[in-house]
């Protein structure tokens, strides 16, 4: 039993790969909100723990939703995956989903009951996503609109994770300037989404609509880099709001340059498995991005002084 669940997480939701990015995102959200409202100390461990726990479970729910909505397609084209192969049943995943909801509810009530309203909105949108907004075929025929509607979950996750800071402090609305962080997360979601669906020609699979297949390798890399550049610009603007604009520009410049060089190499070589490097670069970029937008600034300001 434990072995098959270990196989499932390794193939479909690798905890050790996702956790650092989700942790950096959660800590950044709480820290950025704290800096915007003029906090004079590091955030407490409790809002950070709730933000991370609920965000982690939300991203897990996104993966579970994919299992349900893609079951027929996976059974036809990717029967080796854990669910269509019978290793894990959809009914079992439904129980995992219910467990996620229960844990999120408990965490929200533990920190601040008002958070439940924001959590409920996220659940409703997740439910609509799992049903493809009841226009699945129409959406899938429009890949860009499909991606945008699915990335729209990010502003909701952002609002909740930042609310783990400002709601317990008695605020009725988010601190001014939070929109920059929300825009950063939205476009970074696009970076991650495109980055995980770029493959070398020999790695493309029948029935799997990667962006390198839909748009061509060159266009996919160009859009990926454009999304990353847009994210960088928005991140610098967000960092200016907390007095960290120039350092953020320096911190983000290096990985952005590395991504450009990696993309050029991918287009030249196209060797089997090289698309995995694009996905890894997207993860590294996200980690540096979120550390630059909250964790590092607040640690420099309050964490390393007596």
> Residue 55: which CATH number?
1.10.357.140
Q: Are 74 and 12 in contact (CB under 8 A)?
A: no
Closest residue by Cα to residue 166 from 119, 115, 120, 123 = 115
Same domain as 121, residue 205: no
pLDDT tens, position by position, 70-121: 898 889 888 999 999 999 999 999 999 999 999 999 999 999 999 999 999 9
Same domain as 101, residue 189: no
Last residue of a domain, one of 135, 160, 176: 176
Q: Give the pLDDT score at 269.
A: 83
Q: Residue 243: which domain range? A: 177-306
pLDDT exceeds 90 at position 165: yes
Same domain as 145, residue 199: no
Query: Could you tell me the pTM of the whole model?
Result: 0.93
Q: Give the pLDDT score at 306.
A: 42
305: region left, alpha or beta (phi > 0 left; psi from -120 to 50 alpha): beta
Structure tokens at 254: 């290096």
Same domain as 158, residue 33: yes
> CA–CA separation, 283 vs 269, rounded Å?
22
Same domain as 262, residue 120: no
Same domain as 229, residue 139: no
Query: What is the DSSP secondary-structure string of 159-211?
Result: HHHHHHHHTTTT-SSPPTTHHHHHHHHHHHHHHHHHHTT---GGG--TT---H
Q: Give the pLDDT score at 1.
A: 58
> CA–CA separation, 11 vs 5, rounded Å?
10
Same domain as 292, residue 264: yes
Give the phi and the psi of residue 70 in degrees, each rounded to 5: -105, 10
Q: Which residue has the higher pLDDT, 214 or 303?
A: 214
Structure tokens at 173: 């609305």
Three-class secondary structure of residue 257 per DSSP: helix
Same domain as 86, residue 4: yes
Same domain as 195, residue 216: yes
Structure tokens at 122: 């996220």
Please compute the mean of the pLDDT values over residues 35-56 and round it to a whole number.
94
Q: Are 36 and 179 in contact (CB under 8 A)?
A: no
From residue 38, how far is each of 2, 230, 298 by CA, in Å? 46, 27, 11
List, in order, residues 6 or more apart from 250 with CB less than 8 Å away. none
Closest residue by Cα to residue 212 from 197, 222, 228, 225 = 197
Last residue of a domain, one of 146, 176, 206: 176
Give residue for tokens 């989404």. 193
When divided into structural domains, the chain yields a total of 2
pLDDT exceeds 90 at position 209: no
Last residue of a domain, one of 147, 176, 205: 176
pLDDT tens, position by position, 217-233: 999 999 999 999 999 99
Same domain as 71, residue 159: yes
Structure tokens at 58: 């939300």
Same domain as 130, residue 279: no
Q: Are 161 and 54 in contact (CB under 8 A)?
A: yes
Q: What angle do CA 227, 62, 284 make, to 5 degrees?
A: 40
Q: Are 146 and 139 in contact (CB under 8 A)?
A: yes
pLDDT tens, position by position, 168-192: 999 989 999 999 999 999 999 999 9
Same domain as 113, residue 24: yes
């Amino acid at each position: 039993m434990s072995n098959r669940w270990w196989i499932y997480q390794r193939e479909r939701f690798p905890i050790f790969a996702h956790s650092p990015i989700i942790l950096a995102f959660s800590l950044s959200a709480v820290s950025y909100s704290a800096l915007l409202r003029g906090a004079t100390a590091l955030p407490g461990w409790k809002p950070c723990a709730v933000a991370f726990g609920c965000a982690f479970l939300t991203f897990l729910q996104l993966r579970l939703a994919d299992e349900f909505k893609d079951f027929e397609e996976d059974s036809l084209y990717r029967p080796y995956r854990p669910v269509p192969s019978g290793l894990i049943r959809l009914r079992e995943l439904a129980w995992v989903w219910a467990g996620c909801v229960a844990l999120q509810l408990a965490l929200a009530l533990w920190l601040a009951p008002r958070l439940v309203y924001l959590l409920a909105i996220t659940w409703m949108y997740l439910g609509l996503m799992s049903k493809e907004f009841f226009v699945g075929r129409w959406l899938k025929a429009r890949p860009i609109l499909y991606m945008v509607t699915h990335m729209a979950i990010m502003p909701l996750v952002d609002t909740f994770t930042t609310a783990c800071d400002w709601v317990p402090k008695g605020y009725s609305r988010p601190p001014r300037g939070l929109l920059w962080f929300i825009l950063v997360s939205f476009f970074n979601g696009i970076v991650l989404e495109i980055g995980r669906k770029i493959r070398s020609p020999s790695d493309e699979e029948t029935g799997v609509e990667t962006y390198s297949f839909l748009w061509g390798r060159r266009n996919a890399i160009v859009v990926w880099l454009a999304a990353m550049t847009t994210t960088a610009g928005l991140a610098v603007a967000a960092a200016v709001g907390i007095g960290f604009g120039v350092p953020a520009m320096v911190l983000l410049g290096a990985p952005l340059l590395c991504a450009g060089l990696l993309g050029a190499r991918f287009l030249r070589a196209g060797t089997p498995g090289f698309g995995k490097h694009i996905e890894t670069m997207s993860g590294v970029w996200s980690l540096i991005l979120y550390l630059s937008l909250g964790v590092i600034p607040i640690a420099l300001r309050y964490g390393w002084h007596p």
